[in-house]
Amino acid sequence: MKRGKMGVICIGLIMLAACLVGCSKAEKDTKKNEVKAAEISYERKKAKVKLKEDIVVVSDNCEPVISNNAGSNAFQFFIITKNKVKKNDIKITFDKEKEYTVSVLQYGELGHVQDGDNGDVNIKKRTTMSYNGVDWKEYLKVYENSDEEELEHFENKYLSDYTGVIDCYFYEVSVSFNTDTIKEDDTLKKMYIEYKGNKIEKDIDVKFLHNVRNEEDELPDVFYSVSSSTVMEWRTPNNTGELGTYTIQYKADKKFVIKGVNVVGDNGIVVDSVDVAGSAVNGIQQKMQGDISVNKGDTVTLYVRLRDDDFKNQLSYNKNVIITMDYEVEGELHQEVYGIRYLSAAPMDELYAKYVDGVDMMQYYNEFHSVVH
């Protein structure tokens, strides 16, 4: 195993648990029998217990902004269940009547789950070590100051006697609203999930905005944009709330002036800063400070850095944001509108560790991952 590599180690399937078989004390004391971490064998072991609850709902920070003419029309959350579920097994309602559809998908089928096979749960090494009580600050010191052999011996102390997750299933529940019915601004504050006779209440803050894009604004044909109007972004948990950079690129067919970039709807996401680059600013990337004049034939790229304090120290996160690029053409103001859907990139095994067993996985992100990446 390459030093410091926190690669994915699959040691279990959904409905299966795992047991890491490490070196015995005698083997560790015998130099020729020392076993490297990458060579440790794994056994698949059937779980002895099941979830205490029929369903665990993972829906923290569910605060999307949804409009009839801009951005995404949906939000999603995750459920962990004791038994397999079908769409009709789950009923979703809200504190107000809305027109929407619900889909229930096995989480393992999604493409962003790495090294999965037919919905397998992947138990990463960092999750196993967190279950076994590793001090990530101590691990960082060993990682930075020890050779590969010493690092592997340290890891092995936390890669043994672990029985893995219990029998369970992961699902993504997606709620898509009929945006044609959005005739005025409105808000949903409560979501109710019904399953097997139980009704779970969750706090949400879904904002509906009517006509974010001015329908009467006939946008002039002044530039070509290579940026998608709606995108989905997965973000690594952190303790700063940083959501990364959204890039907008234009090529001007006619002179226009960029006036600013703004967030629509108050759901905690803010513009931290905007950098501008391209021939419109002589090819030098710089902070956007005031108007940017773009002449015909110029290229311009906006690097929009977004941040949300609600994302600090959170494994679960789900917000939609709508941003506008305000610009002027021949004295008239216009808006280009973009929608971004942000979700946490925390994998299944980490969500399970936190929401079922109460393991603090943010220690890994704050005390190790943020330092070395």
- List of the chain residues with pLDDT < 50: 1-49, 109-121
Q: State the greatest distance between any 2 C-alpha atoms of the chain, in Å, as a whole number.
A: 81
What is the sign of the dihedral through the CA atoms of 80, 82, 87 and 93? negative
Ranges of each domain in the chain? 223-344
What is the Cα–Cα distance from 309 to 284, expressed in whole angstroms? 31
| Strands (E) located in 168-240 | 169-177, 186-195, 198-209, 223-225, 230-235
How many angstroms from the chain centroid is the CA of residue 329? 37
pTM for this prediction:
0.78
Q: Could you name the CATH architecture of 223-344?
A: Sandwich (2.60)
The pLDDT value given to residue 46:
35
Do residues 169 and 56 lie in contact, with contact meaning Cβ atoms separated by under 8 Å? no
For residue 269, the tally of other CB atoms under 10 A from its CB is 25
Write the pLDDT tens digit of every residue in 266-281: 899 999 999 999 999 9
Do residues 302 and 225 lie in contact, with contact meaning Cβ atoms separated by under 8 Å? no
What is the Cα–Cα distance from 86 to 105, expressed in whole angstroms? 9
Do residues 79 and 171 lie in contact, with contact meaning Cβ atoms separated by under 8 Å? yes
